[in-house]
């Protein structure tokens, strides 16, 4: 049996919008400018909502920030949704670099440290999720025991744009979840009676996509064993 031999399916937002309106039983001849403006806003609102749901693996990248002696706080790209893992890189002359993981703390825990300017090898970080976010390190880099701050982050999905047949910043495995979710968003404005019928499909598609958008790795739990003595 012949097959296409291609792997190029990557519909534009406009094509997905037409499909989503069809799911709402609104056919292309009935679509007006107001429909399309609602669709553009709904698509971006849906992506914003997804950013709160968990880790989108296709939007994870690595940031390397040079450390400055005595500087504890560093600016973070505002497109950063969350920081996953962080480590301090120690460069050594004529030898391989050494990476040592550091752990996150809350604002409350960071506030509890009496000497926030204490220099030394950094062991923790506090990610302050402001509109212009920052990352604060402790102990403060001393210029000797660390060279760079490295961290994996989840970034914002690129804007959904209708003009110019622009494609979505989504991998193939998420197209169904996006189209079903967009249909539900559009139904809220244009077909409220269909919300109960569309909601289960949107939830199912999202759960399937997010449930498979994980790293396939083993997870180990080891109990800490030690002696117990009674006086």
Phi–psi pair at 111, nearest 5 degrees: -60, -30
pLDDT exceeds cutoff 70 at 212: yes
Q: What percent of the chain has pLDDT over 90?
A: 81
Whole-number pLDDT of residue 222: 66
Asked if 144 and 200 sit in the same domain, the reply is no
pLDDT exceeds cutoff 90 at 213: no
The three-class DSSP label of residue 125 is: strand
Q: 151: pLDDT confidence band, cut at 50, 70 and 90? A: very high
| Digit-coded pLDDT (tens) for 22-49 | 999 999 999 999 999 999 999 999 999 9
| Digit-coded pLDDT (tens) for 156-188 | 999 999 999 899 999 999 999 999 999 999 999
| Digit-coded pLDDT (tens) for 81-96 | 999 999 999 988 778 8
CA separation, residue 69 to residues 74, 161, 200 (Å): 12, 43, 54
Q: Do the domain assignments include residue 44?
A: yes
Q: Residue 56: CB partners within 8 Å, gap ≥ 6?
A: 50, 154, 157, 213
Give strand pairing partners of 120.
Answer: 141
Q: Do the domain assignments include residue 163?
A: no
DSSP track, 210-225: HHHSS-----------
Of the CA atoms within 13 Å of residue 214, those in its CB half-sphere come to 10
As given in the structure block, the two tokens for residue 221 are 């739990």
Asked if 135 and 69 sit in the same domain, the reply is yes
pLDDT exceeds cutoff 80 at 146: no
Domains: count for the chain: 2
Alpha helices by DSSP H, the chain: 13-23, 33-51, 107-112, 175-190, 195-212
| Digit-coded pLDDT (tens) for 43-80 | 999 999 999 888 889 999 999 999 999 999 999 999 99
Q: 227: pLDDT confidence band, cut at 50, 70 and 90? A: low
The three-class DSSP label of residue 6 is: coil
Parent domain of 21: 13-54+168-211
Asked if 114 and 144 sit in the same domain, the reply is yes
Q: Do the domain assignments include residue 140?
A: yes
Asked if 90 and 146 sit in the same domain, the reply is yes
Are residues 43 and 182 in contact, defined by beta-carbon separation less than 8 angstroms? yes
State how far the Cα of 7 lies from the Cα of 9, in Å rounded to an integer: 6
């Amino acid at each position: 049996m012949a097959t296409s031999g291609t792997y190029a399916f990557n519909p534009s937002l406009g094509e997905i919008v037409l499909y989503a309106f069809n799911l709402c039983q609104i056919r292309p001849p009935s679509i007006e400018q107001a429909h399309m403006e609602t669709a553009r806003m709904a698509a971006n609102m849906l992506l914003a909502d997804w950013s709160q749901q968990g880790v989108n693996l296709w939007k994870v990248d690595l940031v390397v920030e040079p450390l400055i002696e005595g500087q504890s706080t560093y600016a973070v790209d505002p497109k950063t949704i969350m920081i996953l893992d962080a480590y301090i890189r120690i460069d050594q002359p004529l030898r391989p670099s050494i990476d040592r993981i550091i752990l996150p703390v809350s604002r409350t825990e960071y506030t509890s440290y009496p000497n926030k300017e204490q220099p030394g090898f950094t062991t923790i970080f506090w990610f302050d999720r402001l509109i212009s976010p920052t990352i604060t390190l402790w102990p403060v880099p001393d210029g000797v025991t660390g060279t760079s701050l490295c961290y994996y982050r989840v970034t914002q999905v690129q804007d959904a744009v209708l003009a110019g047949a622009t494609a979505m910043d989504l991998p193939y495995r998420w197209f169904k979840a996006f189209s079903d979710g967009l249909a539900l968003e559009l139904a809220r404005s244009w077909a409220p009676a269909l919300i109960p019928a569309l909601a289960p499909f949107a939830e199912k598609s999202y759960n399937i996509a997010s449930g498979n958008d994980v790293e396939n790795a083993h997870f180990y739990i080891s109990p800490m064993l030690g002696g117990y003595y009674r006086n």
